[in-house]
């Protein structure tokens, strides 16, 4: 009978003595559940998904995402919320025995300290898997939208769970080095500050050095086609994976683990981290530089053009799904102008700004630079067979983007001056441009109200990435706002009848007031008047 009791005890007992691997895995499962249910983890997940859920529930989510930007643009938020949760929660778990003053009792267990450390390290894996699912669902949902542009880089998506694994391992290592719970939050704060400060660091080489951090917010001045992207996503992922191995081995070593296998693993992890970390700092390759230059100087060679009635739209292939949305805005402007004007050929060309092209790109310093850009755009359009094309950028889906395109199309229809328009539009042309832009679509109207509310002295119509555009002063915008309060069809009828007078450069704003019977603000003092240049 006693033999039977012993057999039952052996059958119901936990891991067999001398088999720490099974005990470690059992502890890892237990700790992984505690990690997933930890308040810090739950808060981190909620903070990560909150902006996404709010956008979808409120209807403010962008229906025209650029996938090659969406796949990495939330990595900083993930570092702060998900990575921070892994760092703090695993640190607290690994310090639990010390915090509860039960460290001595652990010495009587069959599981040595190094194996318990291994269990804490493994407990982060399920949380990383949850993060991978969250990111996959979010970006996958964006990819399914009809207006999605570009394509997803899987290396960028894999960086999210990799960062969680890294910071979780750092939390365990810190617990083995310092028995103070305040250290992990301080390390997280320092990491966040270093990552964010890397964006603003003005010293040379900062752009490459940012890639030595777990994530990099190396942001181009505007979304670019996939073939022009320069983020070393694959090499950086390998670098982070190497760091995960190095930090995990360090935690095991501090806990007392020894052996050739551990030493070999550390050597492999260190070699991967050093090699991948060095390779990711290499400058942009020549072919990519040439492609970026061609995108600026010869965009027609990389674009697909589509003609809808009399309007030709030319877009980089990644952004071709947006042509229908652009056409909606253009039709909104054209429906309010005389038929003979609406039937005239019109072109819309997408352009990009590259930060290492200072004159052609976003670092424009004066009128001469802006004039040079306009002249170059005119040469490009003439050579491509689409003269005087209106410029559109690579951001779409919000009210500001719609009203910027509507304003540029409106001015082209009114003045027929071609791309690169730069300066102040006064008089009847300014009023007509503001009204045509504001009545184009409901979202353009909202964008005009937003621009008007946030501007001082007037409203600008251009993509800020190019630093080239036109500006309508407050006086003309006051008349345009008064017209926008009236039924659009009623105003459009008068606009068509008086088109020649309203579109003439010499017609003053007072004449618009006389035609429509709306008040026109008085001219400001001479010293405060703007110079009309467009």
What pTM value is reported for the model?
A: 0.85
Whether the per-residue pLDDT at 7 is higher than 70: the answer is: no
Residue 111: inside a domain, yes or no? Answer: yes
Helical pair 488-497 and 427-438, crossing angle rounded to 10 deg: 140
Query: Rg of the chain over CA atoms, in angstroms?
Result: 31
Residue 432: inside a domain, yes or no? Answer: yes
**147 and 60 within one domain:** yes
Burial class (CB in 10 A: 0-12, 13-18, 19+), 52: middle
- pLDDT value, residue 3: 44
CB atoms near residue 481 (< 10 Å): 19
Domain end, chosen from 253, 283, 313, is at 283
**407 and 334 within one domain:** yes
Residue 361: inside a domain, yes or no? Answer: no
β-bridge partners, 284: none
Residue 1: inside a domain, yes or no? Answer: no
**297 and 277 within one domain:** no
- pLDDT value, residue 17: 54
Q: Are strands 303-308 and 311-316 parallel, antiparallel or unpaired?
A: antiparallel
Angle (CA) 288-290-296 rounded to 5° is: 105
Q: Which of 14-28, 68-82, 370-384, 511-525 has the highest mean pLDDT?
A: 68-82
Helices (H), 178-285: 183-200, 206-209, 233-254, 260-279
- pLDDT value, residue 155: 96
Q: Which of 386, 422, 397 is nearest to 70 (CA)?
A: 397
**298 and 279 within one domain:** no
Domain that holds residue 104: 20-283
- pLDDT value, residue 217: 80
**175 and 66 within one domain:** yes
Return the minimum-mean-pLDDT range out of 29-43, 84-98, 377-391.
377-391
**401 and 347 within one domain:** yes
Residues 6+ apart with CB under 8 A from 56: none
Helices (H), 255-343: 260-279, 286-297, 323-334, 339-342
DSSP label at residue 213:
S
Two tokens, residue 34: 């505690």
Question: pLDDT tier at 454 (50, 70, 90 boundaries)?
Answer: confident
The number of distinct structural domains making up the chain is 2
At 396-442, the pLDDT tens digits run 999 999 999 999 999 999 988 776 677 789 899 999 999 999 999 99
Angle (CA) 304-306-307 rounded to 5° is: 155
Residues 6+ apart with CB under 8 A from 373: 359, 360, 364, 420, 466, 468
Q: State the chain's mean pLDDT as an integer.
A: 87
Helical pair 20-37 and 113-122, crossing angle rounded to 10 deg: 40
**376 and 475 within one domain:** yes
CA–centroid distance for 479 within its chain: 37
Question: pLDDT tier at 356 (50, 70, 90 boundaries)?
Answer: low
**111 and 67 within one domain:** yes
Residue 530: inside a domain, yes or no? Answer: no
- The pLDDT of 34-41, averaged and rounded, is 96
Domain end, chosen from 256, 283, 310, is at 283
**204 and 316 within one domain:** no
**469 and 323 within one domain:** yes
Domain end, chosen from 283, 308, 333, is at 283
Residue 7: inside a domain, yes or no? Answer: no
Q: Which of 346, 453, 113 is nearest to 251 (CA)?
A: 113
Query: Is there a contact between 437 and 407 (Cβ–Cβ < 8 Å)?
Result: yes
- pLDDT value, residue 109: 66
**297 and 278 within one domain:** no
DSSP secondary structure, 47-84, as one string: HHHHHHHHHHHHT-S-SS-BHHHHTTTTHHHHIIIIIH
Two tokens, residue 189: 């704060």
Residue 262: inside a domain, yes or no? Answer: yes
**279 and 298 within one domain:** no
- pLDDT value, residue 203: 56
Q: Which of 102-111, 165-174, 495-504 has the highest mean pLDDT?
A: 165-174
Residues of the chain with pLDDT > 70, as a percent, come to 89
Question: pLDDT tier at 41 (50, 70, 90 boundaries)?
Answer: very high
At 235-247, the pLDDT tens digits run 999 999 999 999 9
Residue 399: inside a domain, yes or no? Answer: yes
Distance CA(487)–CA(262), nearest Å, equals 77
């Amino acid at each position: 009978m006693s033999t039977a009791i012993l057999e039952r005890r052996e059958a119901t007992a936990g891991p067999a003595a001398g088999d720490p691997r099974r005990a470690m895995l059992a502890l890892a499962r237990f700790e992984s559940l505690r990690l997933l249910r930890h308040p810090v983890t739950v808060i981190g997940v909620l903070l990560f998904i909150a902006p996404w859920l709010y956008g979808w529930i409120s209807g403010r989510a962008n229906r025209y995402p650029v996938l090659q930007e969406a796949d990495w643009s939330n990595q900083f938020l993930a570092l702060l919320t998900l990575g921070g949760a892994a760092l703090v929660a695993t640190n607290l778990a690994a310090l639990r025995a010390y915090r509860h003053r039960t460290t001595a009792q652990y010495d009587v267990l069959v599981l040595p300290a190094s194996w318990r450390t291994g269990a804490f390290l493994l407990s982060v894996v399920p949380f990383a898997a949850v993060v991978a699912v969250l990111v996959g669902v979010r970006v996958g949902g964006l990819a399914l939208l009809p207006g999605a542009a570009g394509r997803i880089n899987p290396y960028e998506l894999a960086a999210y769970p990799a960062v969680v694994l890294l910071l979780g391992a750092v939390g365990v290592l810190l617990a083995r080095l310092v028995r103070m719970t305040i250290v992990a939050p301080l390390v997280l704060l320092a990491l966040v500050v270093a990552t964010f400060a890397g964006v603003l660091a003005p010293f040379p080489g900062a752009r490459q050095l940012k890639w030595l951090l777990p994530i990099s917010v190396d942001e181009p001045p505007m979304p670019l086609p996939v073939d022009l992207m320069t983020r070393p996503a694959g090499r950086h992922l390998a670098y982070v994976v190497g760091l995960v191995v190095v930090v995990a081995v360090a935690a095991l070593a501090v806990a007392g683990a020894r052996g050739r296998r551990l030493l070999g693993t550390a050597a492999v992890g260190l070699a991967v981290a050093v090699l991948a970390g060095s390779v990711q700092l290499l400058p942009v390759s020549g072919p990519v530089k040439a492609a970026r230059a061609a995108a600026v100087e010869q965009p027609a060679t990389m674009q697909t053009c589509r003609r809808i009635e009399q309007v030709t739209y030319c877009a980089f292939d990644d952004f071709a799904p947006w042509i229908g949305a652009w056409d909606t805005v253009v039709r909104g402007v054209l429906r309010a102008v005389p038929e003979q004007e609406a039937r005239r050929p019109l072109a819309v060309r997408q352009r990009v700004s590259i930060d290492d092209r200072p004159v052609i790109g976003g670092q424009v310093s004066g009128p001469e630079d802006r004039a040079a850009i306009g002249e170059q755009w005119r040469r490009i359009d003439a050579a491509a067979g689409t003269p005087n094309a209106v410029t559109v950028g690579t951001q779409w889906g919000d009210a500001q983007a719609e009203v910027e395109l509507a304003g540029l199309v409106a001015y082209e229809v009114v003045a027929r001056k071609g791309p690169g328009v730069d300066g102040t539009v006064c008089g009847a042309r300014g009023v007509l441009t503001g009204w045509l832009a504001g009545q184009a679509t409901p979202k353009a109207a909202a964008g005009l109200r937003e621009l008007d509310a946030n501007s001082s002295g007037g409203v600008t119509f251009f993509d800020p990435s190019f630093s080239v555009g036109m500006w309508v002063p407050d006086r003309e915008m006051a008349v345009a706002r008064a017209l926008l309060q009236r039924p659009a069809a009623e105003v459009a009828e008068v606009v068509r009848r008086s088109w020649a007078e309203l579109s003439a450069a010499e017609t003053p704003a007072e004449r618009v007031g006389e035609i429509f019977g709306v008040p026109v603000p008085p001219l400001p003092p001479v010293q405060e008047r703007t110079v009309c240049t467009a």
